[in-house]
Chains A and B, each alone.
Chain A
Amino acid sequence: MVNKETRGEERRAETLMPELILPGDWDKGEGFGQVRMDVTPRIIRAPRKGDPYSTYVRAHEYGHVKWSPLSVPKVESELLSFAIGACEDARINNLLLDLGVETPVRELRERVIRQVKEVKRGVRKLSRGDQFILTSIAVSIGAWVSRDAQRVAERVLEEAGLQEEEKTVVRDVMRIMYNGMGSFETTLRGARILAALFGEEKDEEEGGSLRTRVKDGGGVEVVKEKDKRGTADSLSGRMTIVTHRRELNNAPTRRVRRRMSDVGMWVKRPDRILTDGRVFEERMRGDWEGTILIDYSGSMSLTPQDLDRVARVSGRATVAAYSGRSDYGELHILAEGGRRVREVPKSLVGNVIDVPALRWLVKRRGERVWVTDEEVTGKDDWVYPIITAACKGIVRRGRVRVVRSVEEAIRMVEGGRTKR
């Protein structure tokens, strides 16, 4: 009863395997690339696709798991913290190259150019903070002995608009990161040099630019102004699919199917002895097949217990719930293939990712059900007419059945196959 697509997704989910490096429980999810090892369970977010760049990002994160310290030392300066992240990325990339895991330069170049454009956004003279961010991107590429990677880094440095002597310092940092890839001490050393290069402009970096800011624990975030123009996809939040460790669903549906057989214990149709000989009746359990997507936003007023009730009766069906906040959202797989989560996560209150969640739903095989009040939103949980229209279109084209409550969904699952 598990359809091919479900099996495919399971396989994709299996491409994240940090426990092969560091045994133990991991909270795995889709993302751009992030590892946290100072929490329980440890966290990893990385793309799960099979393309060279996604594979490389996963290898990079495994590199962090193996070679980075369990927790990065706390530093007061955000600038230094960000520089540490960039230099550590460079060290990991260099170690990977040393192992023969090459950076996919073409994809890297495309990605880096996108990042550069996001930071610059048509501005000719960059703020010192933006220059620092671009420089950090260049440094983080690492792989200093790879000429192709070096060219990409040089291109970013050009875009950063640094003075020649500043570029020389940055190149020195890159060289240090390659030569001393053996220890985290090298990372700290390189980061201090990098931070010192931009340190004088610290105040401007922190307060002067609203377009970029340094995230907690490293990484750069581009803060865009609210713009109601755009496509349904660009106005929707970024969606992360979260799969949890699932336990066996001990309360599958108990719909009974009957089948006649020529062997058995209970003779039900003795008359058939004269025809096909199928005189015995076999009883079998059958489950509803399909996917239930639940709008887990605040307007639905659902509790984790409500969702657990659906997961419990789901049999081998897939049950997922989504909610969002700000410009991102999470889609949690609550039940799949006869297993359900131990604990249903809390809602993020908003919708934000209705469009990507529905797009995920319509790719699923079998029947598709969306439990929702149809109050759909995009980034910052705003109502955008284009998103409302897009959701209606996806529902119509994807032959999604819309139900208003979890009770209705439960009745449908318990009743077996639904009619459209």
Chain B
Amino acid sequence: MKRYKPREWELWSLVNGVTNQRGERRFRRILLSGARGTGKTTAGMKAGAVYSVTLHEESSVTELIGHWVPQGQAFTWHDGVMTRAWKEGSGVVINEIDKASGSVLTQLYAFLDDPEVARLTLPNGETIRPREGFFVVATMNGEWEDLPLPLLDRFDIRLRVRAPHPDAVEKLEPQFRELVVGAYSVDDPVITYREVLAFQQLSEALGQSEVAAEIVFGERANDVLNSLRIGQREEGTEEGEE
């Protein structure tokens, strides 16, 4: 197998290495899209993010901005994750950004505005702006063109991640690497990196690859095992012919 070195992860390293004069990261709004199990969230957290939020259709803007909580006869204000990150100058990983509802996406326009001009007045009357050090790594499984254009435009860097991170693939035995590379050659992998890693570890622990495959891959087990066997076997020799 030739050396596994996906281009997108090389670009990711380059982007993270670009800093301003004070040594802080230059690019603060990054969008990573790609198949599950490629390591997008891990990459964001390794980049130094403190907070992580996963959006879905029923997420509300209160998770990002904050909300009132009744306490006795009064209400007290609790900051949401983005508000906190702005105030502290921390990094946030926003998972599944494409799954967010329209109102949440629109609210993100404000949170992802250019840091120089970004301002937000909270329902409690406080006006905040992002402190130095604030950054966002947003991840999604779909195509980033499906995000509203104004939101998409706010990301300084957009990277499509099609293959798992090389550090992760390095952990696999050569035959399993082939399997992962093949699986991620399409947009919607039939098996994921996490499954293959679990299969390798379980096979080693149990010493029975059939059982390990059954546990990890369920009804796909036979196909994965057959693919593994067939993939490793080059055509036979001509020995014994007639």
A interface with B by C-beta (< 8 Å) = 11-12, 14-17, 19-26, 50, 55, 58-59, 62-63, 65-67, 95-96, 98-101, 175-176, 179-183, 186, 245-250, 254, 262-265, 267, 273, 277, 279-280, 282-285, 339
Neighbour of A245 across the interface among B183, B187, B235, B242, CB < 8 A: B187
Determine whether the beta carbon of B230 is less than 8 Å from that of A62: yes
At the interface, yes or no: B116 with Cβ under 8 Å from chain A?
Answer: no
Neighbour of B242 across the interface among A19, A176, A249, CB < 8 A: A176
User: In the complex, which residues of chain B have a beta carbon less than 8 angstroms from the beta carbon of A58?
Assistant: 223, 226
- Do A283 and B60 contact each other (CB < 8 Å), given the known contacts A11-B218, A179-B242? yes
User: In the complex, which residues of chain A have a beta carbon less than 8 angstroms from the beta carbon of B102?
Assistant: 254, 285
Determine whether the beta carbon of A21 is less than 8 Å from that of B70: no
At the interface, yes or no: B126 with Cβ under 8 Å from chain A?
Answer: no
User: In the complex, which residues of chain A have a beta carbon less than 8 angstroms from the beta carbon of B238?
Assistant: 180, 182-183, 186
Determine whether the beta carbon of B242 is less than 8 Å from that of A17: no
Chain B 126-151 interface residues, beta-carbon cutoff 8 Å to A: 142-143, 145-147
Determine whether the beta carbon of B241 is less than 8 Å from that of A176: yes
| Interchain residue pairs with CB less than 8 A apart (9) | A25-B186, A59-B230, A181-B236, A182-B238, A248-B146, A262-B69, A265-B61, A282-B62, A284-B58
Q: Enumerate the 8 nearest inter-chain pairs by beta-carbon distance, A residue then B residue, closest first.
A: A248-B142, A23-B185, A182-B236, A250-B146, A20-B227, A59-B226, A20-B182, A248-B146
B interface residue count range (under 10 / 10 to 19 / 20 to 34 / 35 or more): 35 or more
Supply 6 further A-B pairs (C-beta < 8 A) apart from A62-B227, A245-B187, A264-B60. Answer: A17-B191, A17-B223, A20-B224, A66-B231, A267-B68, A285-B57
- Kindly state the separation between the CA atoms of A67 and B69 in the bound complex, as whole angstroms: 66
Determine whether the beta carbon of A95 is less than 8 Å from that of B236: yes
Q: Across the A-B interface, how many residue pairs have beta carbons closer than 8 Å?
A: 152
CB-nearest residue of chain A to B99: A338
User: In the complex, which residues of chain A have a beta carbon less than 8 angstroms from the beta carbon of B168?
Assistant: none
Q: Chain A interface mostly helix, strand, loop or mixed?
A: mixed
Q: Chain B interface mostly helix, strand, loop or mixed?
A: mixed
Q: What's the least CB distance linking A263 to chain B, in Å?
A: 5
Q: What's the least CB distance linking A360 to chain B, in Å?
A: 20
User: In the complex, which residues of chain B have a beta carbon less than 8 angstroms from the beta carbon of A250?
Assistant: 145-147
- Kindly state the separation between the CA atoms of A267 and B75 in the bound complex, as whole angstroms: 11
- Kindly state the separation between the CA atoms of A50 and B217 in the bound complex, as whole angstroms: 13
- Kindly state the separation between the CA atoms of A411 and B5 in the bound complex, as whole angstroms: 49
- Kindly state the separation between the CA atoms of A263 and B235 in the bound complex, as whole angstroms: 65
Determine whether the beta carbon of A66 is less than 8 Å from that of B98: no
B interface with A by C-beta (< 8 Å) = 57-58, 60-62, 65-70, 78, 98, 101-103, 123, 142-143, 145-147, 179, 181-183, 185-188, 190-191, 218-220, 222-224, 226-231, 233, 235-238, 240-242
User: In the complex, which residues of chain B have a beta carbon less than 8 angstroms from the beta carbon of A62?
Assistant: 223, 226-227, 230
Q: What's the least CB distance linking B202 to chain A, in Å?
A: 18
Q: What's the least CB distance linking A119 to chain B, in Å?
A: 30
CB-nearest residue of chain B to A94: B236
- Kindly state the separation between the CA atoms of A20 and B123 in the bound complex, as whole angstroms: 53
Neighbour of A179 across the interface among B187, B218, B240, CB < 8 A: B240
User: In the complex, which residues of chain A have a beta carbon less than 8 angstroms from the beta carbon of B146?
Assistant: 247-250
Q: What's the least CB distance linking B76 to chain A, in Å?
A: 11
- For A11, A22, A263, which residue has the most chain B Cβ atoms within 10 angstroms? A263
Q: What's the least CB distance linking B29 to chain A, in Å?
A: 20
- Do A280 and B68 contact each other (CB < 8 Å), given the known contacts A183-B235, A245-B187? yes
- Kindly state the separation between the CA atoms of A387 and B5 in the bound complex, as whole angstroms: 56
Q: What's the least CB distance linking B19 to chain A, in Å?
A: 33
Determine whether the beta carbon of A26 is less than 8 Å from that of B186: yes
User: In the complex, which residues of chain B have a beta carbon less than 8 angstroms from the beta carbon of A284?
Assistant: 57-58, 60, 101
User: In the complex, which residues of chain B have a beta carbon less than 8 angstroms from the beta carbon of A254?
Assistant: 102
